[in-house]
Chain A
């Protein structure tokens, strides 16, 4: 009997368990999935939680429900991956593996910036990348009447790179609806050269910040949060004052990657960007936010990766060459507020452009253009996530590799 061990039962790990359980011969392979937590969160919902658009129960379910029969769900903390001996050391016990899939994700590391994880954490300084953070922020926003709200990105890469912008747009709508928009100043602070950094998007979407009266501070390389004086300070001594700081802290891979000596400086695992095999170990594969591949850290990316990775695990077992197939495909709805959204579809090579999706001319969704239909798409995605995505069911008409159909390329 051989063992395939999946580390992490988040989006990627759960999808891999569902894909592989029907494909690996049961007489030869035993599948384990390891995760210390009981709750599975719908992370895209964390964007809506602070604005009372979603409730707590809409963004969490018991993780066990999504782990298929035939897969052994081990609810334990992972101590260390011993890649020399093909072992996973758990809090209580040890698992040996023939194939390991690392799906341990990424998480915020507010300790990386001086003063961020301070006594003001979740009092005047908030994140919305965790369930607890999003909830704390919701409670804060319910009583926020006026002042300076700063939406801030610490450094790239981050999970769901558009989420902070979406947050700023939704905040504009939220305060508008409450009738206090004129009393709240919203500023978007980024380490990048702009809110939109690609040629085409900056041309087509540049209007959004102005239209919503969101101030922009680009090229801001944060040095510290001066939490006693309510300001963030950067290395060039730029300062931005806040009453409410909503920050996306540094994102890092899980500590278990560091403990196991398998990661880069940010604890992401060096991974082949087309096969998803780890660079250092042939029998270790990596998926989702845990990799260092230059794709967006997003659920749709993990979904497309899972299809390629399933094929590659089977090829690896049969000692055949792996497919260099994954192309960095991402497909994301971007909320722009006032019940509208944009859709972007892109990969390693092709930056987001306008057009229709998934069908040329017909759509029905429009790329890079605000529409109410796209907003419904985003809301419908929650159902798709729980009922199709996690179960490894392909999404109709959306292929693992990016399609150029309907895209206005070279325009």
Chain B
């Protein structure tokens, strides 16, 4: 599927996740966040950077992993990205949501 943000055509899957991280920019992150009624603050960006680093290093993402990382505490994580923080934060970060093999 193609989705257009700020006149840029993006490849996304059925759920709106970017399929090619190289298409991601901060500006696109800001627009994706708006779709979830989120205004990105410095703390949001810290989390987004952490998520992108983990994915680049092939490391699995989990709520407990984020807790252990010390980037953010879990209550705050839920407050920043309401409605399933991992699902929402990965979408804004332009990376795939955590999946199983099926």
Contacts and interface: CB of A to CB of B under 8 A. Distances in A.
Nearest to B59: A264
A319 interface: no
Given A157-B60, A193-B84, A193-B87, A223 B74 contact: yes
Contact of A221 (B13, B59, B64): B64
B6 interface: no
Interface string A187-224: 00001110011110100010000000000000101010
Nearest to A220: B63
Interface string A279-316: 00000000000001110100000000000000000000
Given A221-B64, A292-B59, A162 B101 contact: yes
Contacts of A397: none
A129 interface: no
B23 interface: no
A47 B99 CA distance: 22
Contacts of B74: 221, 223, 235
A358 interface: no
A156 B100 contact: yes
B49 interface: no
B58 A293 contact: yes
Contacts of B62: 155-156, 191, 221
A325 interface: no
Interface string B1-27: 000000000000111000000000000
B63 A197 contact: no
Nearest to B14: A199
B84 A352 contact: no
Contacts of A356: none
A102 to B, nearest CB: 17
A236 B63 CA distance: 11
Nearest to B58: A294
A162 B102 CA distance: 8
Nearest to B102: A201
Given A235-B78, A292-B58, A197 B65 contact: no
Contacts of B58: 273, 292-294
A344 B13 CA distance: 21
Main secondary structure of the interface of A (DSSP, over half): loop
A363 interface: no
Given A197-B102, A352-B101, A219 B60 contact: no
Contact of B63 (A155, A205, A266): A155
Contacts of A155: 60, 62-65
Contacts of B64: 112, 155, 221, 250
A265 interface: yes
Contact of A192 (B14, B15, B100): B100
Interface in B35-78: 58-60, 62-65, 68, 74-75, 77-78
A330 interface: yes
A265 B65 contact: yes
A161 B102 contact: yes
A296 B99 CA distance: 11
8 contacts: A157-B60, A191-B62, A191-B98, A197-B102, A235-B78, A292-B59, A344-B101, A352-B101
Sort A-B residue pairs by CB-CB distance and give the 5 closest, nearest first.
A221-B63, A155-B62, A197-B99, A201-B102, A235-B74
Given A191-B63, A196-B102, A250-B64, 14 more contacts: A156-B60, A191-B98, A192-B100, A193-B87, A197-B102, A198-B99, A198-B102, A205-B102, A219-B84, A235-B74, A265-B59, A294-B58, A296-B101, A344-B102
